[in-house]
Amino acid sequence: MKIIITLLLLIMMSACATSPTGRTQLVFMPDDELDAMGLQAFNNLKSEKSASQDTRENQFVRCITDALAREVGGEWEVVVFEDRTLNAFALPGNKIGVHSGLVDLVDNQDQLATVIGHEIGHVLAKHSNERMSQKLGAQVGVSLIAAIAAPQSAMGQTAVSLLGIGAEYGIIMPFSRLHESEADTIGLELMAKAGFNPSESITLWLKMAQASEGPQPAEFLSTHPSHATRIDDLQKLMPKTVSVMQQAHAAGKRPNCVK
């Protein structure tokens, strides 16, 4: 057991990385495996969901994605899916999906750039890798403690059960909220570097809050920050990112993506 714990600690120590915001991360999944998983998942979605045939809609989304992609490099594939839900996503391997319902909701290029920039932020920060590494680490931790704590006894079973809840709400869920906030930060700076107006991010999330159906779950048990928390955090970043946008405009970066 000591050998197993030592090996686990060595793996975790060697898997330390730094996110674009300077946060220390635990990532030990190979990037090429994550990219392959992202490609497979994206291909599955393309076979299961209908892609938009609206030329104007596709050009609008492609124009925004191209402007953002020029700031991070690489080839990014984007597909607009015929889906009325307000959603977009990005997968390892530089794959982006945007739902037509979200395109209909936004008023302009800057609002949609907020969401696409946010999703690209998840990829740049390797959040999928980190989440999988965390989940694997939590599962291994639970298994090790279960082996030590005599799970056959009633007390041992209770301890393992409580540990499972702690692992879910004490480790996995808070990191998910952290990922969302970090993607907001990365995405806001990215859209500003590309010349989009970051102040429209506030309007976008206000619109999303109004469009949300039903009560939101308590923030503590949610993988996303509350709308109020998200907007407050974005407002704190606004002076810096507006300055970045002004520098981009001075450099001739002025996207003109027409909805």
Residues annotated as part of the active site: 119
Question: Any idea how long the chain is?
Answer: 259
Question: Across the chain, where does the E strand assignment appear?
Answer: 16-18, 24-26, 77-81, 88-91, 95-99
SS3 158: helix
Q: What angle do CA 145, 151, 154 make, to 5 degrees?
A: 130
Query: Residue 130 and residue 134: Cα distance in Å, rounded?
Result: 6
Q: Do 70 and 252 touch, CB atoms closer than 8 A?
A: no
Nearest to residue 35, comparing CAs of 117, 132, 107? Answer: 132
Residue recorded with tokens 């082996």: 147
SS3 52: coil
Query: Residue 166 and residue 35: Cα distance in Å, rounded?
Result: 30
Residue recorded with tokens 């702690």: 166
Q: 154-167 and 127-148 helices cross at what angle (nearest 10)?
A: 170
The dihedrals phi and psi of 39, each to the nearest 5 degrees, come to -65, -45
Q: Do 44 and 91 touch, CB atoms closer than 8 A?
A: no
Q: Do 103 and 112 touch, CB atoms closer than 8 A?
A: yes
